[in-house]
Amino acid sequence: MKAPAFWSHGKAGPVSALLSPLGILYGYGTLARQMFIKPWSCPVPVICVGNLIAGGTGKTPVVMDLATRLKARGVKPHMVARGYGGTEKGPLRVSTDRYDARLVGDEPLLLSRIAPTWVASDRRAACRAAMVTGPMCIIFDDGFQDPSVVKDISLVVVDGGYGFGNGHMIPAGPLREPVAQGLSRADAVIVVGDDTTGVVDQVAGRCPVLRANLKPAPQADDLTGQVVAAFAGIGRPEKFFDTLRQIGCDLRQTKSFADHHNYTRAEMESLKANAARDGCTLVTTEKDWVRIPPEVRDGIVALAVNLVWENESEIEALLDPIVNSGGNDAK
């Protein structure tokens, strides 16, 4: 689904006010889960990369970065995701030659390029399945509100341009739980992108704040100066379109889809025809590219992005306890 416009920062209004009682009930539901579900302790350390809102904040690039850093430091990570947009309930290990995005979702396919990745609606079951193959730690992509597994490190990712939205809970706003309640369980907040919503000030004093940005991969230079048509089905498509403008693309066409949208052959043929009409190169994100039927991917450019930390020593320090434990229990 696409997030309603009134969920955005500074846009709470009469609709939010009308729905706020339901939001309060939603928040109580999240709190009840935290209070009454007894968490299971995994034999290896668990890192959770989550958020406080519904929708994309940049969690997956953070997970990929952490996995890469741990591998470089001698720790073998496995990753666990729900597989939003896919039909498989799992637990199963993702294999790009056996599964596509319609089965396991887009994010697990990207994660599996870095390290072994498991899809499951039950994260506890996913951890147990992963343990058979000997991981030294497990990283959750999302799951901050899931109390079923003890987390050794909990990181909350926030998009600096979206913040905590209008500050209301679902369905009155994008929050999955009250900000203060969520931050009380976080070891750090990672603000991705320019902070135009005052997130850093909101978080200050509650837990450490790390800053990072998503930067186009070097291959993006090939798009500079090109006439481009772009499409995206992610949490904030406009952020992707702005990135293309910033790297010097002449952006003539844009098309937004719902987050995790699985594209059809007909949709791709239509997008290609419209791009060709204006002499455009058709561009999308890596997350979108894996949701395109393979037989119609030709001629579509996938723009990769990398996570760049403002201070790498801060994230390395957060990982030190797991690295220093040799991947054994670090609780």
Let me know if 71 is exposed, middle or buried by CB neighbors in 10 A (0-12, 13-18, 19+).
middle
Using only C-alpha atoms, the chain has a radius of gyration, in whole angstroms, of: 20
pLDDT attached to residue 328: 59
Specify the long-range contacts of residues 100-109, CB closer than 8 Å, at least 24 apart. 100/290, 100/294, 101/262, 101/290, 101/291, 102/262, 102/291, 105/81, 105/260, 106/260, 106/287, 106/288, 106/290, 106/291, 107/60, 107/81, 107/83, 107/141, 107/287, 108/79, 108/81, 108/83, 108/141, 109/290
pLDDT attached to residue 330: 44
pLDDT attached to residue 159: 93
Task: Write out residues in the chain with pLDDT < 70, as ranges.
Answer: 1, 326-331
pLDDT attached to residue 43: 95
Take residue 15 and report the two structure tokens written for it: 């609709």
Please write the tens of the pLDDT for every residue from 136-168.
999 999 999 999 999 999 999 999 999 999 999
How many Cα neighbours within 13 Å face the side chain of 191?
24
Q: Which residue has the tokens 């799951």?
A: 143
pLDDT attached to residue 331: 45
Distance CA 262, CA 264 (A): 7
pLDDT attached to residue 83: 85
pLDDT attached to residue 1: 61
Please write the tens of the pLDDT for every residue from 188-235.
999 999 999 999 999 988 899 999 999 988 887 889 999 999 999 988
Determine the residue type at 3.
Answer: A
Alpha helices in the chain (DSSP H): 14-36, 59-72, 101-104, 106-111, 123-131, 179-183, 199-203, 237-246, 265-277, 286-289, 312-324
